[in-house]
Structure formats: structure tokens, C-alpha cells
Copies of this chain bind each other. A is one copy, B any other.
Amino acid sequence: MKKCKIDAYSILERIRSQKPIVHHLTNWVTIYDCANIVKVLGGSPVMAHAKEEAAQMVGIASSLVLNIGTLTPEFVEAMKIAAKAANKKKIPVVLDVCGAGATDLRDKKSFELIEETRIDIIKGNASEIARIAGEDVSTKGVDAASVDLDMHEAARRLALRTRSVVVVTGEVDIVTCGVTTYAVENGHPLMSSLVGTGCMAASVIGACAAVERDLALAATAGLVCFEIASELAAKSSRGPASFKESMFDHLYQMGKEPLNKLQRVQCE
């Protein structure tokens, strides 16, 4: 891999000017932060899970984010309806396989979503993606478990097989469409002392995918924005809560210079 430069700011600018609607069917724990991070980026979040309106709401959206963090079988049925509507409308669908590997239900429903609908971006931490990739690993709840695996390779194989962009979050994030692979080295350890950073990342990626057709680039740009905001926030934080507040403020104010100067991206 070699150092590369991506124009994250142009994607951020498009979110700010187009204000895309990012529709979510997400979990009840971090739903507010998922909505709010899309808002501070400049987008317009919608969260609606009734199966009676899931498809119609997709009609006004520019991307769809699914997150199985607090799934039930009924909730996943609504996700499928929304995803099929999004597929038909040809807007990108992001799936956060939150907690995959922790229970059979999560694995089964993740596989169903990937098989029965078109998922454009599959996102998870190393152990979640390893499970979705069919590797045998154990997950420690929803928190990142380091897995004994070449995640670059596993992600690439999963991407080629599903024809999806695969995003593996961690100290170094991997984004791959199977051909081009980005590694994002930005971020700050405080992110892992705060609930919801993974879910927020999926929403950020959903907002970027709403305005940029190159989905690997969109996902990478989203992670760069989010993680540079985190780095800036960490400088003046006294703990995870002040860090969180500052991270949202920094993302809202994010300018071109820090995005260019602080990004640490490699690609191949």
C-alpha cells in the first residue's frame, strides 16, 4: 500500500449543499447520535421503521442505512422492504452488521439481508466482518475483538463475493471494493471509550454515499471526516463525554485544511 490523498472535502461540501435525506432503520441505543451526526454533516436524517411506510420513505431518500444492533425478526422484515425499495430506486444501502457473531439471530439476519437484497456497503469491526466473511471467530458483544486473521484479505474476498464495498473499522480502517483498497489510519483511542462510534460511522458513510457514486471513496471520505473530527476533539477533551460533544462540533465546522493536512490514508 502507498500513501494517497483523497478529496474528502468535496464530498462534505456536496452533503452540505445537497442536504441529502439519509433514511435509517437502526438500533434504539444510538439512534439519536446516528441522526444527529448526519445533521451536523449537513444532511437530513430520517428514521422510520414501520413496514407500512419503510418503502415510501425511501422514495424521498438518497441513501439507506440499516443497523441490526437491536434487531427483532419483524424489524428485519421492515429492513428488507426498505432495502428492496432502495435497490429499485438505485440508491446505496449501507448495512452495519452490529454484533454479528454474538448470536445466531444476528448472523442469520445479516446473511438474509445480504442474500435477499442488494447491500452496497457492508460495515463492521474485525470480528463482525470476519463472521460475515464466513470465518470462524468469536465476538465479544458489540465491541471490537481483535481477530487472528488477515482482515485485508478477508474483506477483499467478501467484497468480491458480494460485489459490495466492505468496511472494517478498527485502529486502521479498511475499505475495499475488492479491487481498490483504502486504509484509514486516522482516529483516536477515545472513540472506543464511547458507545456508538461504530454506528455513527455507518451513518456518516451513508451520508457520503448519498452524494458520491464511488462508494469505496465515499466510505473512506466519511471515515476521514469523522476520525479527523475525533482527533481534533480529543485535544481539548477531559473524557469521553466532552470528547463526544467536541467531536460533533468539529464535524459541523470541518474545513478543507484539516481534511487535507491531517488525513492519513493509504491505498492500493
Which residues of A are in contact with B by a Cβ distance under 8 Å?
Answer: 19, 21, 27-33, 35-36, 39-40, 44-50, 52-53, 56-57, 60-61, 69-73, 99, 102-106, 139-143, 193-196, 237-242, 244-253
**B-chain residues with CB within 8 Å of residue A27 when the two chains form the complex:** 47
Q: Judging by beta carbons under 8 Å apart, are A53 and B21 in contact?
A: no
In the assembled complex, the Cα of A49 lies from the Cα of B21 at a distance in Å of: 28
Q: Judging by beta carbons under 8 Å apart, are B48 and A103 in contact?
A: yes
In the assembled complex, the Cα of A141 lies from the Cα of B142 at a distance in Å of: 30
Q: Judging by beta carbons under 8 Å apart, are A40 and B248 in contact?
A: no
**B-chain residues with CB within 8 Å of residue A21 when the two chains form the complex:** 140-141
**B-chain residues with CB within 8 Å of residue A49 when the two chains form the complex:** 70, 72
Question: Given A72-B50, A193-B39, are A242 and B249 also a contact pair (CB < 8 Å)?
Answer: yes
Listed by A's residue number, 23 A-B pairs whose Cβ atoms lie within 8 Å are A29-B31, A35-B196, A36-B194, A36-B195, A39-B195, A40-B193, A40-B194, A44-B142, A46-B99, A48-B70, A48-B99, A48-B103, A49-B72, A52-B72, A52-B73, A57-B141, A60-B141, A193-B252, A237-B249, A238-B246, A241-B245, A241-B249, A241-B252
Q: Judging by beta carbons under 8 Å apart, are B46 and A71 in contact?
A: no
In the assembled complex, the Cα of A30 lies from the Cα of B33 at a distance in Å of: 10
Expressed in whole angstroms, the minimum distance between the Cβ of A47 and any Cβ of chain B is: 5
Expressed in whole angstroms, the minimum distance between the Cβ of A18 and any Cβ of chain B is: 12
Q: Judging by beta carbons under 8 Å apart, are B47 and A29 in contact?
A: yes
Among residues of B, the one whose C-beta sits closest to the C-beta of A73 is B52
- Which one of A29, A105, A143, A250 has the highest number of Cβ atoms from chain B below 10 Å of its Cβ? A29
**B-chain residues with CB within 8 Å of residue A238 when the two chains form the complex:** 246, 249, 253
In the assembled complex, the Cα of A27 lies from the Cα of B49 at a distance in Å of: 11
In the assembled complex, the Cα of A39 lies from the Cα of B69 at a distance in Å of: 16
In the assembled complex, the Cα of A28 lies from the Cα of B50 at a distance in Å of: 12
Expressed in whole angstroms, the minimum distance between the Cβ of A17 and any Cβ of chain B is: 14
Q: Judging by beta carbons under 8 Å apart, are A195 and B32 in contact?
A: yes
**B-chain residues with CB within 8 Å of residue A106 when the two chains form the complex:** 53
Expressed in whole angstroms, the minimum distance between the Cβ of A204 and any Cβ of chain B is: 14
Among residues of B, the one whose C-beta sits closest to the C-beta of A190 is B252
**B-chain residues with CB within 8 Å of residue A45 when the two chains form the complex:** 141, 195
**B-chain residues with CB within 8 Å of residue A71 when the two chains form the complex:** 50
Please list the 5 inter-chain residue pairs (A to B) with the smallest Cβ-Cβ separation, ordered nearest first.
A239-B249, A241-B248, A53-B103, A53-B105, A239-B252
Q: Contacts A36-B240, A60-B141 known; list 4 others, CB within 8 Å.
A: A29-B31, A36-B196, A44-B143, A60-B140
